[in-house]
Amino acid sequence: MLNFNSKVMKKIYTAIIGSLVLFASCKKILEEDVRSQISDLYYTTPSGVEYGVKASYSYMRRWYGNLQETAWITNFGDEYTDGNASGVVNDYSVAFNSFATASIAPWSNMYTAINTCNSVLKAAEGVDMPAQLKNTRIGELRFLRANYFFLLVQTYGPISLPLTPTESASSVAKREPIADVYKTIIADLDFAVANLPQTTTEYGRATTWAARHSLAKVYLAKAGSTAKEATDYAKAATLAKEVIASNVYKLLPDFASIFLHGKNEEVIFSSQFDAEPLAGGSTGNLGNYSHLFFGTGYDVMPGMLRDIANGRPYNHFRPTPFMQGLYNKTIDSRFSKSFKTVWYCNRPGNYTISGKTVNMKLGDIAFIFTDYEPTQAERNAAPYTIVSPSQQTTTRFPQSSKHIDANRLDFNNVNGNKDLIIHRLGETYLIAAEALMMDGKPGEAVFYVNELRKRAAITSTDPSVTAANRLAMEVTAGQLNIDFILDERARELNGEYMRWFDLVRTGKLLERVKLYNTRAAPNIKDYHVLRPIPQIQIDRVIGGASAYPQNPGYN
């Protein structure tokens, strides 16, 4: 595992982030010497570069799994609607504006990450270390910087492109064209592809295959942007196929096992967490919070109380009826392996359920979610609570099981320890399929769709039943279109911090939100394909909005 836990790394991490981040306005920050415990010369030593690179990885936790704001701006759409969150982001409320934390936090954190990468890149230039190792570490930094820029350009559109560290106050900046942003991202990832190793002995470091997967996603997104070029889809398909053909990764036979701990042969790159404080342990503040966001209010149901295994529910992400109905549950295992719908009693006792007294024992079924409306006779016969679709609420709904984390220190602890997957081979197959289909090659694309769908088929102890299910899961090239691809991405990748990007990339955000997200439907407008630039950023620039314009539609 990539070790984030060294005391030396903690010092250099503090030193680097203590540098002035993009357009910082607080003079006090500039005057503080947060580097008192470590010499500036340390950055230009081999060990300084090593720990600086590790610090640069750590910002992945600022986007994936830690902040509810980044979870909100990526997961709400047609798959999930608001449960018991603020509602501002999901509902496209006027309160989601340039002053909102959900606008400011992602911007600030990613530019701090980019500045860290730039600082270590500059320091590494003069370091005396083996050339191959140096190029590998630079490749990692450019891989990370590219991914941070990619998150920003997808979220905000034209952005600033600092490629050197910000070391003093500045009030001059401009938003660069999207084409220039993509050019920078692609250059960084091309370097990473060429210089990163195929495998790594230190789990968590980026490899050439992680860079290829990232680059395939970049070309796919670029193809759906104003910067698109005719060869984008072909390049995305080629890169995705290279990752698949490498045989370094494989599709796990059991879909549920992908998410048990976030480390397995399907994972290409992940945001890492563990029990140590610096990595988000008991006293840290960078734990994986996803187990909170997707949790449902089980702890108020008869026979239940809050425990570690079932999680601490924040009730933020409620799967839409569209999401819950998207699977053929008779042959596709992914619904049952993506959503928890049955809870078992952990608080024995007598309870009144459907007008009758039930003596519930430890381990008995306490309540279930159904996908149909049961008769009253069924409710009367059941020794547990049945929650039908019409009875789901903002705090009571099937829960994503992908993010359940039973390894926390106690049932109120928010810091999850499970890695959050960023790139996995299942998505690589879908990137290849979408790129090939959009490039006019549905006959080739359908192979990659069917490989995933066959993996997802419900298995049986009877081989003939398993074979029949796998056959039934296959589709034809004629069935492929962008809506099918989006549906398949939802079945495979829901809740994995990418849905809003998918909908924007494919031009389907407004259509799908209006169709499937009843709370958001009345408010979403054409301009919501971008998020608002933080007002604090605009105010820092000489000329304000005339020099650094806000995205259309926002105040």
Residues 13-72: tens digit of each pLDDT: 444 444 333 443 332 222 323 333 444 566 689 999 999 999 999 999 999 998 899 999
pLDDT computed for residue 40 by the predictor: 54
Confidence of residue 498 (pLDDT cuts 50, 70, 90): very high
CA separation (Å) from 542 to 39, 55, 74, 108, 546?
34, 32, 31, 19, 9
Confidence of residue 3 (pLDDT cuts 50, 70, 90): low
From the centroid of its chain, how far is CA 434? 19
pLDDT computed for residue 285 by the predictor: 55
pLDDT computed for residue 411 by the predictor: 85
Q: How far apart are CA 492 and CA 79, in angstroms?
A: 12
From the centroid of its chain, how far is CA 202? 22
Average confidence score pLDDT of the chain:
91
pLDDT computed for residue 23 by the predictor: 42
Of 35 and 379, the structure prediction assigns the larger pLDDT to 379
Question: Taking Cα atoms as reference points, which of 83, 86, 117 lies closest to residue 103?
Answer: 86
Over range 286-312, report the average pLDDT: 94
Residue 400, pLDDT > 70, answer yes
pLDDT computed for residue 410 by the predictor: 86
Share of the chain above pLDDT 70, in %: 90
195-215 burial: b if 16+ Cβ within 10 Å, else e: bbeeeeeeebbbbbbbbbbbb
Q: What global pTM score does this model have?
A: 0.93
Over range 233-242, report the average pLDDT: 98
Instruction: Give me the helices (H) in 127-207, please.
Output: 131-156, 178-195
Residue 269, pLDDT > 50, answer yes
Tens of pLDDT, residues 86-145: 899 999 999 999 999 999 999 999 999 999 999 999 999 889 999 999 999 999 999 999
* Residue spans per domain, the chain: 290-407
Tens of pLDDT, residues 148-187: 999 999 999 999 999 999 877 788 999 999 999 999 999 9
From the centroid of its chain, how far is CA 536? 26
Which DSSP symbol is given to 387? E
Q: How far apart are CA 304 and CA 326, in angstroms?
A: 29
pLDDT computed for residue 529 by the predictor: 98
Question: Taking Cα atoms as reference points, which of 37, 9, 75 lies closest to residue 520?
Answer: 75
pLDDT computed for residue 17 by the predictor: 45
